A = this chain, B = another copy of it.
Amino acid sequence: MEQILPYGQLKTFTRDVFLKMGCSAGHAELAAVVLLSADLRGIDSHGVARLSGYVRLWEAGRINPTPDIRIVHETPSTAVVDGDGGLGLVVAPFAMQVAIDKAKIAGTGWVSVRHSNHFGIAGYHAMMALEQDMIGMAMTNASPLVAPTFATERMLGTNPIAVAIPAGEQPPFVADFATTTAANGKLEILQRKELEAPTGWVQDKDGNASTNPNELKSGGALLPLGGDREHGSHKGYCLGSVVDIFSAVLSGANYGPWAPPFVSFLPLPPDPVGKGLGHFFGAMRVDAFRPADDFKSHMDTWINRFRNAKTVEGKEKVLIPGDPEREMQAYRMDAGIPLLGPVMKDLGEVAKKFEINF
Point out residues on A near B: beta carbons under 8 Å: 73, 75-78, 80, 105-108, 110, 112, 147-153, 155, 163, 165, 173, 175, 177-182, 198, 200, 206-208, 225-227, 230-232, 234-239, 241-242, 244-245, 249-252, 255-257, 273-274, 284-286, 288-290, 294-295, 298-299, 301-302, 305-306, 309-313, 315, 317-319, 321
- Given contacts A206-B313, A256-B305, A77 and B232 within 8 Å (CB-CB): no
**Do A289 and B112 have beta carbons less than 8 Å apart?**
yes
- With beta carbons under 8 angstroms apart, the residue of B231, B236, B288, B321 that contacts A77 is B288
**Do B231 and A311 have beta carbons less than 8 Å apart?**
no
- Given contacts A236-B225, A302-B245, A310-B152, A289 and B181 within 8 Å (CB-CB): no
- Chain B residues contacting A225 (CB-CB under 8 Å) are 225-226, 232, 235-236
- Chain B residues contacting A75 (CB-CB under 8 Å) are 106-108, 285, 288
Separation of A65 and B231 alpha carbons in the complex (Å):
39
Known: A77-B107, A151-B310. 8 other contacts (CB 8 A): A73-B290, A150-B311, A175-B242, A178-B235, A225-B225, A226-B226, A250-B295, A252-B290
Separation of A319 and B229 alpha carbons in the complex (Å):
12
Measured CB to CB, the closest approach of chain B to A97, in angstroms, equals 18
**Do B234 and A177 have beta carbons less than 8 Å apart?**
yes
Separation of A288 and B78 alpha carbons in the complex (Å):
6
**Do A152 and B245 have beta carbons less than 8 Å apart?**
no
Measured CB to CB, the closest approach of chain B to A238, in angstroms, equals 4
**Do A231 and B106 have beta carbons less than 8 Å apart?**
no
**Do A175 and B311 have beta carbons less than 8 Å apart?**
no
- Chain B residues contacting A309 (CB-CB under 8 Å) are 147-148, 151-153, 155
- Chain B residues contacting A112 (CB-CB under 8 Å) are 289
- Given contacts A231-B200, A299-B245, A289 and B251 within 8 Å (CB-CB): yes
**Do B231 and A318 have beta carbons less than 8 Å apart?**
no
- Chain B residues contacting A108 (CB-CB under 8 Å) are 75, 77-78, 108, 110
- Chain B residues contacting A181 (CB-CB under 8 Å) are 226, 231-232
Measured CB to CB, the closest approach of chain B to A275, in angstroms, equals 12
| A312 nearest in chain B by CB position | B207
**Do A299 and B249 have beta carbons less than 8 Å apart?**
yes
| A298 nearest in chain B by CB position | B249
Separation of A34 and B226 alpha carbons in the complex (Å):
29
- Chain B residues contacting A306 (CB-CB under 8 Å) are 148, 155, 241, 256
- Chain B residues contacting A238 (CB-CB under 8 Å) are 163, 175, 177, 321
Separation of A315 and B150 alpha carbons in the complex (Å):
6
**Do B78 and A284 have beta carbons less than 8 Å apart?**
yes
Sample 10 A-B pairs with CB under 8 A, ordered by A number: A73-B289, A163-B242, A175-B242, A177-B234, A179-B235, A181-B226, A200-B231, A249-B295, A257-B305, A273-B301
- With beta carbons under 8 angstroms apart, the residue of B155, B177, B207, B232 that contacts A182 is B232
- Chain B residues contacting A312 (CB-CB under 8 Å) are 150-152, 206-208
- Chain B residues contacting A177 (CB-CB under 8 Å) are 232, 234-235, 238
Measured CB to CB, the closest approach of chain B to A160, in angstroms, equals 10
Measured CB to CB, the closest approach of chain B to A112, in angstroms, equals 5
| Residue of A178, A239, A286 with most partner-chain B CB within 10 A | A239
- Chain B residues contacting A155 (CB-CB under 8 Å) are 305-306, 309
What 3 A-B pairs come out closest when comparing CB atoms?
Answer: A207-B312, A75-B107, A175-B238
